[in-house]
Chains A and B, each alone.
Chain A
Amino acid sequence: MPDILQNVPENDPLRNPDQKKLIDQILEVNRDRPGATMVVLNELQKQIGFVSEAMQAYAAKELKVPVSSVHGVVSFYSFFTTTPRGRHVIKFCMGTACYVGGTPQLIEKAKQLLGIDVGQTTPDGAITLEVCRCVGACSQAPVMVMDEEISGRVRPNKLPQSIRTLQD
């Protein structure tokens, strides 16, 4: 297998000086913490937005752990993504109360409005559509999370308006 770090793709965050600096900073701060892999990956996901293959290899090298164990962690947890998401993420909660409360209908409507499937990003890179686990706002089911913001009691006919606020 060719060394990934020898062939870092042109558009990888590791090639972007600002992002590279951020990545190094995250690694530096957390290097000596016990169980650093999870902490580092959580930070990378949060601050860079995804963890590319090259970033995984780089983190493994810096943390002195096998690439396989970093990749094992990345592929295990649903929060880590290996490709960039859209500038905005719309998530629909699939907890029991939301499921019973109408999330499936909302997802159909959102798919129609955005013209994409769950897990995909609109071609302009604006919005990613996702389904997520219970966000714990069950008394307001069905719940939608736009970026970090939770809205409850969402109705399908209100969706176009909410989505438009993200597109502007």
Chain B
Amino acid sequence: MKYYRSHVLVCVDPDCLHRGAHEALDAFQDELVAQGLIDEVQVLETSRIGACSQGPEMMVYPEGVHYAGYTVDDIPFIVEEHFLKGRVAKKFELPAETAIDEELSAPTPKEMRVVLRNCGQIDPENIEDYIAENGYMGLAKALTSMTPEQVIDEVLASGLRGRGGAGFPTARKWQFCRASAGQVKYVICNADEGDPGAFMNRRVLEGDPHAVIEGMIIAAYAIGSSQGYVYCRAEYPIAVQTLNIAIEQARAMGFLGQNILGTDFSFDLEVRMGAGAFVCGEETALMASIEGKRGEPRPRPPFPAVSGLWAKPSNVNNVETYANVPQIITNGAAWYAGFGTEKSKGTKTFALAGDVKHTGLIEVPFGLSLREVVFDVGGGIKDDKGFKAIQTGGPMGGCLPEAYLDLPVDYESLTAAGSMMGSGGLVVMDDETCMVDIARFFMEFTQEESCGKCTPCRVGTKRILEILDRICGGEGREGDIELLETLCEQIKQDSLCGLGQGAPTPVVSTLKHFRDEYEIHIREKRCPAKVCKALIRYEILPEFCTGCTVCARNCPTAAITGERRQTHLIDVDTCIRCGICMQVCNFNAIVIR
């Protein structure tokens, strides 16, 4: 193995590729060759290391210097300064504090990185990088010094629970599957991260695929399985590609395939792609999809652990669940159980998005309060507006108002508050968000993604959406709220799978916490947050309008008229209330009435 004194990691995420990451990589190689440094400095591709807004971004190790904002022509200068003269090329150095607003920044004091520890730190396409970070140590320990039962006991003692959202103890699932009769068993990874607002699993798959693979191999050993599948959604082409490369490398190294690490345990893995159906995140639908069928859920029992993929005992866990396993085995259950609360052990990754200052991925121990997550880790509300709600758990979760901010983040607390943990999407909403509109948005989503197999979900979600459309459209009636409540209760009770059972949650939670907004929409035909199009109109303030014509030129329906340097006018009938004029106006001359 070659030793390098320095490693240059260039971000090849879509944003940086767009800004010439490949050209930068080539230019670095060329310049290092020209300077005779190619045996001392290694150039690698990595996933996101910064905001990618000044890409291609790059990180130089071991110093940990973050460069951005350079062009290909600046590369000889950086190489000369940094690698020949040994000093930081200050001109392009990104100070640590500006690197905060990004998908995955340096951990804030309240964070704890277990699952995300390698993301952005190693080259995901190089297995040796992973091994250097104690990768595959857990597998070696499990295979050489532990029985499958001991592995399960260790995971049980760690308190690890399913990170897909339901929070079922992982080791119990493994026990059931191990106990099921049959020679052929399957280990399946649910990488169908479909919740809008959630992208934790994508980053783990793209940034540290071997952690997931290693976790799956350990699970296979514990269960007694020889074949595994990763079911990844088609919206994540880079994750699929990274996984395939990682699987090939793991196979070449003897971590996958026949007689792993010289033992008599054999296991192999294959990636299967979804095709854009949210319901396939439900485990029985997911297995139907792997079988090449329509992704429709079926009633449980039988549970997958008894009869799953191709009617064989199968174990389905989420990406994050598997990614935790290697470190639990390596560092021991007690270490892992040291984080979190009594019933929710360890850490959880969240995708923080919406109207919060620092959007991006975070990983915190269970038990932190929502307030700490939003204000300490997330930096508070963007543009210093007021906090209105936090949406947890994706389209099957709920919206929680300010009064719930001191709630500890764990499975039980969120469920008790009428929301749920879900896979980990956290969308923060400021006081300019209309909660009725948000409920309508989620209902539109679940209505469209309902697979249509069972009637309560197929018809019920449609009926709820129609009522919400009516309320947002200014045609709400007395009794609509009560009708919504009845419908929600019935759909929740009678639907076949988690999608239908969870579909009413956004409506139920907003009705519970923001009922007054529904009432104002229905009775006063007014949208307090000024969002619902039928209930608002845009107006130009003559005292501020300079007649610059920007709004008129950007209006998609030519609803704005006016001569240059004259006050402009919006025609209420032609206006579609898209709000573009307000966004582009430089003089704050456009207001919503």
What is the interface of chain A, defined by CB distance below 8 A to chain B? 34-39, 41-42, 45, 69, 72-73, 76-80, 94-102, 104-105, 108-109, 111-112, 132-141, 148-153, 155-157
Contacts and interface: CB of A to CB of B under 8 A. Distances in A.
Contacts of B438: 100
B359 A138 contact: yes
A93 to B, nearest CB: 8
B199 A136 contact: yes
Contacts of A109: 554, 556, 578, 580
Contacts of B14: 137, 149-151
| Shortest beta-carbon contacts, A-B, top 5 | A136-B199, A95-B196, A77-B275, A37-B292, A112-B556
A134 B197 contact: yes
Contacts of B295: 76-77
Nearest to A34: B310
A45 B273 CA distance: 12
- A78, A99, A101 — which one has the most chain B CB atoms within 10 A of its CB? A99
Given A38-B290, A73-B293, A112-B557, A79 B583 contact: no
Given A38-B272, A136-B198, 17 more contacts: A38-B275, A45-B275, A76-B277, A76-B295, A76-B296, A80-B275, A96-B441, A96-B442, A101-B354, A102-B579, A132-B235, A134-B196, A135-B235, A136-B235, A136-B236, A138-B196, A139-B351
A102 B582 CA distance: 12
Contact of B354 (A100, A102, A104, A132): A100
B564 interface: no
Contacts of A133: 194, 196, 235, 276, 278
Contacts of A72: 293-294
A73 B451 CA distance: 12
A29 B237 CA distance: 21
8 contacts: A73-B293, A77-B277, A105-B578, A105-B579, A137-B103, A138-B359, A139-B353, A140-B15
Interface stretch (B173-181, B425-433, B476-484): B425-433
A105 B579 CA distance: 7
B189 to A, nearest CB: 16
Given A96-B441, A138-B359, A42 B235 contact: no
Interface string B219-252: 0000000000000001111000000000000000
B18 A151 contact: yes
Contacts, number: 165
A148 B14 CA distance: 9
Interface of B: 14-15, 17-18, 52-53, 102-103, 193-199, 202, 234-237, 272-278, 289-296, 310, 351-355, 359-361, 391, 425, 427, 429, 433, 438, 441-442, 445, 451, 550, 554, 556-557, 576, 578-580, 583-584
Contacts of A94: 196, 445
Contact of B275 (A41, A151, A156): A41
A80 B289 CA distance: 14
A141 B353 contact: yes
Nearest to A75: B294
A87 to B, nearest CB: 19
Nearest to A45: B275
B234 A100 contact: no
A97 B359 CA distance: 10
A62 to B, nearest CB: 14
B3 to A, nearest CB: 36
Contacts of A112: 556-557
Given A133-B196, A150-B14, A108 B580 contact: yes
A149 B583 contact: no
B506 to A, nearest CB: 10
A140 B55 CA distance: 14
- Main SS at interface, chain A: helix
B274 A77 contact: yes
Contacts of A39: 272-273, 292
B211 to A, nearest CB: 18
Nearest to B236: A136
A151 B16 CA distance: 10
A79 B194 CA distance: 14
Contacts of A96: 196-197, 353-354, 391, 425, 427, 441-442
B235 A78 contact: no
A138 B445 CA distance: 17
Contacts of B195: 134
Contacts of B429: 100
B292 A111 contact: no
B259 to A, nearest CB: 23
A6 to B, nearest CB: 26
- A35, A96, A104 — which one has the most chain B CB atoms within 10 A of its CB? A96
A102 B427 CA distance: 15
A157 B554 CA distance: 7
B199 A155 contact: no
Contacts of A38: 272-273, 275, 289-290, 292-293
A35 B292 contact: yes
B427 A100 contact: yes
Nearest to A112: B556
B191 to A, nearest CB: 11
Given A108-B576, A112-B557, A79 B276 contact: yes
A138 B353 contact: yes
A148 B241 CA distance: 13
Contact of B554 (A95, A97, A156): A156
Contacts of B272: 35, 38-39
Contacts of A79: 234, 274-276
Contact of A139 (B235, B274, B360, B451): B360
Contacts of A108: 556, 576, 578, 580
Contacts of B557: 112
B293 A105 contact: no
B428 to A, nearest CB: 9
Contact of B291 (A35, A135, A153): A35
A58 B590 CA distance: 57
Contacts of B296: 76
B120 to A, nearest CB: 13
A155 B305 CA distance: 48
Nearest to B201: A136
A41 B194 CA distance: 21
A104 B437 CA distance: 13
A140 B229 CA distance: 31
Contacts of A100: 354-355, 427, 429, 433, 438
B576 A149 contact: no
Nearest to A100: B354
Nearest to B234: A79
B275 to A, nearest CB: 3
Contacts of B293: 37-38, 69, 72-73
Contacts of A156: 554, 580, 583-584
